[in-house]
Amino acid sequence: MPDYKALAAAQKEYTVSMRRYFHQHPELSDREDATCAKICAELAAMEIPYVNVPRGGVFAFLGDESKGRTVLLRADVDALPGKESPVNGGGQPKVVVSENDETSHTCGHDCHIAMLLGAAKALKSMEDEIPGRLILMFERGEESTGNIRYLLKYAYEQNWKIDSSFGLHVFPYSDTGTVAISSGHAMAGIMAFRVTLVGKTAHGSSPVEGINPIDCFVALYNTIQSLRMRFAGPFDPMTGSICQINSGFARNIIPPDLTFSGTFRVFNHEDAMKVKQELAHAIETTAELYHCKADYAIGHPSPSLYNDPECAAFTKEILGNVFGTEAVLDSKPLMVSESHSLTSRIWPGTYCFVGIRNEAKGMTALNHHECFEPDEDALEFGVASHLAYALEFLKQGPDTSEKVYKGALKDLFAAYAPHYLAVLE
């Protein structure tokens, strides 16, 4: 087995420089034109062929499919809205901060881009030794706009025969030098909802003259909190959270309306469909009971991100050989969600979590927090993981030929993301 740690360490300076560049120049979902242009420029400098898929992202290609199987390596590229703090979770100054006061890479996608580019650079230096084909996928719009649909459409149009997929996410719950892997469900599916309740405004001293949408919301809130107990089995995890409420403009005026939104997170897709139906019923009946009008939208539940058990076991073994078994941790299923869930339903593989926590450096804040900062010493572990999975799978990975999704893309979209179907028209 090649010394993957040494190969990754040789690219550390480049990988760190890329992380810092993308961190300084973040772009929101579906707006990552400059980000993708930079990725393409880096690939061109490496003399790696690529295609920039409009609104989807970038595919890059290494190796030769005539030599063996094909593995897809994935990174997401978008940032989040919001200004980041100049200090990290421990109160120490950050190494680098965003140059955009309204946008920041507080989920770590800058790391994901950098790690995959670092892997690309290492792989290019040994391209003749790749026993198959590698496709690198830089995905736009993971956070909110679902741009994966454009990439999947393009991949299907090209009739690529991909045998496995692999992805990484930086993980502030684990220390630098570790990689966490779960077998089976790795991350939950998501079902988002938004509801507007319309009542009738009146003076606060005369509630009988109005219809208070807050009363309706309180009743509906309690109903929503009970859905998990009534429609999910005791061994099927599900969470439901309302995280945004907007209503009213004065303490003595009954507001004319109230809008709230939230999400359910679930692993069992059938349970999610039951909750979707019951949530719609609860909104309609509760609004009628409180004499409100309801306008609502409930998203279709996305699938969970699923690690193929054979691929997960293979990944643990390979990375254990690379980093030492003590550095490879068992990860519990997480209730957060990921667009890679759809990709993993097509091409079986593994999604890992690279530890980036370093208390001595103050790097303790969680993803999406303004103080979030990854330990850059962790990046080479991500690069090495990409290299090890890609090359070792091509050499000796499990047979996934019967697990690759062989149906039509429109059927997959219809089952898990019907709002994606329009892209196929």
Domain limits at 120?
Answer: 4-186+304-424
Nearest to residue 392, comparing CAs of 318, 311, 310? 318
342 band by pLDDT with thresholds 50, 70 and 90: very high
CATH number of the domain that 325 lies in?
A: 3.40.630.10
What burial letters (b/e) apply to 234-247, b meaning 16+ CB within 10 Å? eeebbebebeeeeb
For residues 197 and 141, membership in a common domain is answered with no
pLDDT in tens, 12-68: 999 999 999 999 999 999 999 999 999 999 999 999 999 999 999 999 999 999 999
| pLDDT at position 249 | 95
pLDDT in tens, 360-380: 999 999 999 999 999 999 999
Q: Which helix (H) or strand (E) holds 8?
A: helix 4-9
Structure tokens at 186: 């790795």
Q: Which helix (H) or strand (E) holds 189?
A: strand 189-198
| pLDDT at position 232 | 83
| pLDDT over threshold 90, residue 71 | yes
For residues 18 and 87, membership in a common domain is answered with yes
Strand duo 50-53 + 305-307: pairing = unpaired
264 touches 315 (CB < 8 A): no
Q: What is the pTM of this model?
A: 0.95
For residues 167 and 199, membership in a common domain is answered with no
pLDDT in tens, 232-244: 888 889 999 999 9
Longest dimension (CA), the chain: 80
2 band by pLDDT with thresholds 50, 70 and 90: very high
Structural domains of the chain, count: 2
Pick from 270, 298, 326: which residue ends a domain? 298
352 burial level (CB within 10 Å; 0-12, 13-18, 19+): buried
List phi, psi (to 5°) of 103. Answer: -140, 140
DSSP for residue 161: -
228 band by pLDDT with thresholds 50, 70 and 90: confident
For residues 8 and 42, membership in a common domain is answered with yes
pLDDT in tens, 265-313: 999 999 999 999 999 999 999 999 999 999 999 999 999 999 999 999 9
For residues 22 and 140, membership in a common domain is answered with yes
Using a pLDDT cut of 90, give the percent of the chain over it: 98
For residues 11 and 58, membership in a common domain is answered with yes
| pLDDT at position 236 | 87
Task: Find all residues with CB under 8 Å of 338, minimum gap 6, and list them.
Answer: 142, 169, 187, 305, 351
For residues 133 and 9, membership in a common domain is answered with yes
| pLDDT at position 231 | 84
CATH number of the domain that 285 lies in?
A: 3.30.70.360
Half-sphere exposure of 23 (CA within 13 A, CB side): 22
Mean pLDDT of 208-232: 94
| pLDDT at position 142 | 98
Query: DSSP of 90-138, one letter per residue?
Result: TSPBPS---S-TTEE--SSHHHHHHHHHHHHHHHHTTGGG-SSEEEEEE
Nearest to residue 204, comparing CAs of 144, 151, 249? 249
3-class secondary-structure state, position 404: coil
For residues 251 and 339, membership in a common domain is answered with no
For residues 375 and 263, membership in a common domain is answered with no
